[in-house]
Amino acid sequence: MIAGEGNQEISVEDLEPKTRLEGRVTEVGLHGAVVDIGLPYEGLLHISQLTGGREVDAVTEAVQVGDEVTVWVTEVDPERGRVSLTMVEPPDVMWEQLQQGRIYKGKVTRIEKYGAFVDIGAKRPGLLHVREMSSGYVEHPSKLVSVGDEIDVRILKVERKRQRIDLTRQGIEEEAVQEPEPEDTAEEEEAVQQTAMEAAMERAYADRGRAEGDKRRSGKRARNDAGRADILERTLEQHTGKE
How many other C-beta atoms lie within 10 A of the C-beta of residue 232?
10
Checking DSSP bridges between strand 103-112 and strand 115-119, what pairing results, if any? antiparallel
Digitized pLDDT (tens) for each residue of the chain, 243 residues in all? 444 445 556 677 778 888 999 999 999 999 999 999 998 888 999 999 998 667 788 999 999 999 999 999 999 988 888 899 999 888 888 777 888 899 999 999 999 999 999 999 888 899 999 999 998 899 999 999 999 999 999 999 998 888 899 999 998 865 544 444 555 545 545 544 555 656 666 666 566 656 555 555 555 555 555 555 565 555 545 544 444
Report which secondary-structure segment, H or E, holds 236.
helix 182-242
The domain limits of the chain are: 5-86, 95-175, 181-243
Give me the DSSP letters along 83-102: EEEESSPPPSS-GGG--TT-
pLDDT given at position 98:
86
CATH top-level class for 95-175?
mainly beta
CATH code for the part of the protein at 5-86: 2.40.50.140
Q: Which long-range contacts (CB under 8 A, 24 or more apart) does 155-161 make?
A: 155/98, 155/99, 155/100, 155/101, 155/102, 155/103, 155/104, 155/126, 156/100, 156/132, 157/100, 158/95, 158/98, 158/99, 158/100, 160/95
Please give the torsion angle defined by the CA atoms of residues 151, 94, 16 and 58, in that order, rounded to the nearest 10 degrees: -120
pTM metric for this prediction:
0.51
